[in-house]
């Protein structure tokens, strides 16, 4: 798909990254959801920022709020490295940079804190994206669609089966994908004309800049907790603005495999977070992290290569069907179907199966762990078993999810 005629348009990005991610607790007790590690070496926010970077949009504001220090530090140490002259990936938080003293009260209210950035900009379009989903997307193709439709706002939409659509905010559209109405979690979702599927909102928006400023100012007069889904989109539909849905399944990135088409995951719960990570270690995962034409970027590291130690019967260091990051040592132990973040050490005679270990985890000797998430820097003492007796896990203070995932956090 060509979008060469679109290159002259000026675009700024704004990433909403201020959420607490309460359903991911205790992983979000010390960090915001976008800063939660994913696939070992990455943070969740690296996926949306990689999409902006590879789409050629490198003037990006990241709006942080809850426990913002860790996320701001990650952006400074990684994403500022990728920006060139007159480009930036700038983290801004309401407690330090906003002219309005209040915290964000809604998704659109977060943008309102920084209206002056929009008013001072000469950009044609503003791309407002969430910072907490896992997917690949060429954002320029969505902007090309927006420009071609002469839209005031274009909303990225997942195409989902009607039976699943009631879990989402659903658009009703005409044959040109112009949105006619919006319903939050409807009992009987309206399908796309001529299909059996429905359009569900991804929470990603392209606005014409002047229209965005206009509608935000109007919304501030009506709502204290101004939100795109609850308020801004209905307001725009009421006043007859050109509101369009962009079908995400049509988006393509270089060397994309057909299985990746339409891949988008909300890792908002511990179970969905675990499952999405585990999907990556399959033989042919739906999300391909080995596409070097569209790599996921993150903070560079100087950690040494992962290492296995000992090859004795009963004491063999081995990593099987696993992601193992730099700086890890598997010493006389077995790691199977697991993801090890940087600098993990698994000591002799231990077994780690179907687990996610964050950076700096140490597993002692004679330990057995299965179906668990181990938070950053946790030390598992010798001889402990985790994931085999959930009553014992709870007695130690560990959280156990509905599907039986054990979460160990300091």
184 annotated binding-site participant:
yes
SS3 state at 293? coil
Q: Residue 124 gets which letter from DSSP?
A: S
SS3 state at 274? helix
The Cα 48–Cα 53 span in angstroms is 9
8 Å CB contact between 75 and 40 = no
Length of the chain: 410
First to last CA, the chain: 48
8 Å CB contact between 182 and 169 = yes
Computed on alpha carbons and rounded to an integer, the radius of gyration of the chain in Å comes to 23
185 annotated binding-site participant:
yes
340 bridge partner residues: 324, 357
The Cα 64–Cα 173 span in angstroms is 33
The Cα 78–Cα 34 span in angstroms is 14
Please give the structure tokens belonging to residue 178: 């112009």
What are the binding residues for alpha-D-glucose 1-phosphate? Answer: 169, 184-185, 201
Please enumerate, by residue number, every residue annotated as part of a binding site: 169, 184-185, 201
């Amino acid at each position: 798909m060509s979008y060469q005629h679109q290159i002259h348009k000026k675009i700024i990005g704004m990433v909403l990254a201020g959420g607490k991610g309460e359903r991911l607790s205790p992983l979000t007790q010390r960090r915001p959801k976008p800063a939660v590690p994913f696939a070992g070496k990455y943070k969740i926010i690296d996926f949306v920022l990689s999409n902006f970077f590879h789409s050629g949009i490198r003037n990006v504001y990241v709006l942080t709020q809850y426990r913002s220090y860790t996320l701001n530090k990650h952006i400074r140490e990684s994403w500022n490295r990728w920006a060139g002259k007159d480009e930036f990936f700038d983290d801004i938080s309401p407690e330090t940079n906003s002219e309005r003293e209040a915290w964000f009260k809604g998704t659109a209210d977060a943008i309102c804190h920084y209206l002056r950035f929009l008013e001072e900009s000469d950009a044609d379009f503003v791309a407002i994206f969430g910072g907490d989903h896992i997917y690949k997307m060429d954002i320029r193709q969505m902007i090309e669609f927006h420009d071609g439709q002469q839209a005031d706002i274009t909303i990225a939409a997942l195409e989902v089966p009607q039976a699943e659509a009631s879990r989402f905010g659903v658009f009703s559209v005409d044959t040109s994908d112009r949105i006619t109405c919006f319903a939050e979690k409807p009992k009987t979702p309206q399908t796309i004309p001529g299909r059996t599927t429905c359009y569900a909102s991804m929470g990603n928006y392209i606005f014409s800049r002047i229209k965005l400023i206009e509608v935000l100012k109007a919304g501030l007069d009506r709502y204290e907790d101004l939100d795109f889904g609850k308020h801004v989109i209905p307001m725009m539909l009421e006043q007859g603005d050109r509101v369009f849905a962009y079908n995400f399944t049509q988006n393509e990135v270089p060397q994309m495999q057909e299985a990746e088409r339409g891949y988008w995951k909300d890792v908002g719960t511990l179970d969905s977070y675990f499952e999405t990570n585990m999907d990556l270690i399959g033989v042919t995962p739906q999300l391909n992290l080995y596409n070097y034409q569209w790599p996921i970027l993150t903070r560079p590291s100087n950690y040494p290569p992962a290492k296995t130690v000992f090859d004795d019967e009963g004491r063999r260091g081995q990593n099987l069907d696993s992601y193992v990051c730099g700086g890890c040592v598997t010493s006389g132990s077995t790691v199977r179907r697991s993801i090890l973040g940087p600098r993990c050490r698994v000591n002799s005679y231990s077994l780690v199966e179907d687990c996610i270990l964050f950076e700096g985890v140490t597993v002692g000797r004679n330990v057995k762990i299965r179906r668990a998430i181990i938070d950053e820097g946790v030390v598992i003492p010798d001889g402990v078993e985790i994931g085999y007796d959930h009553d014992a896990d709870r007695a130690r203070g560990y959280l156990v999810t509905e599907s039986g995932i054990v979460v160990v956090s300091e």
